[in-house]
């Protein structure tokens, strides 16, 4: 097994975790925004890509 590939996987997982924490912080700060509005925004963002 390639150690470099394993290192990249760990780095990717760390980035995903950091991204999730960042998004959590944003959601907590946007107390007025409902989960429904977030879902709609997420869907619109996904549709753009």
Q: From CA 37, how far away is CA 34, in angstroms rounded?
A: 5
Element (H, E) at 22: helix 3-29
Do residues 16 and 27 lie in contact, with contact meaning Cβ atoms separated by under 8 Å?
no
Closest CA to 12 of 26, 24, 4, 2: 4
Q: State how many domains the chain has.
A: 1
Domain that holds residue 42: 3-48
pLDDT value of position 21? 87
pLDDT value of position 22? 87
What is the band of 34 on the pLDDT scale with cuts at 50, 70, 90? low
């Amino acid at each position: 097994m390639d150690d470099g590939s394993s290192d990249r996987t760990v780095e990717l997982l760390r980035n995903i975790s950091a991204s999730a924490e960042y998004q959590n912080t944003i959601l907590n700060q946007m107390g007025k925004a409902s989960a429904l509005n977030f879902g709609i925004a997420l869907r619109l963002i996904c549709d753009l890509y």
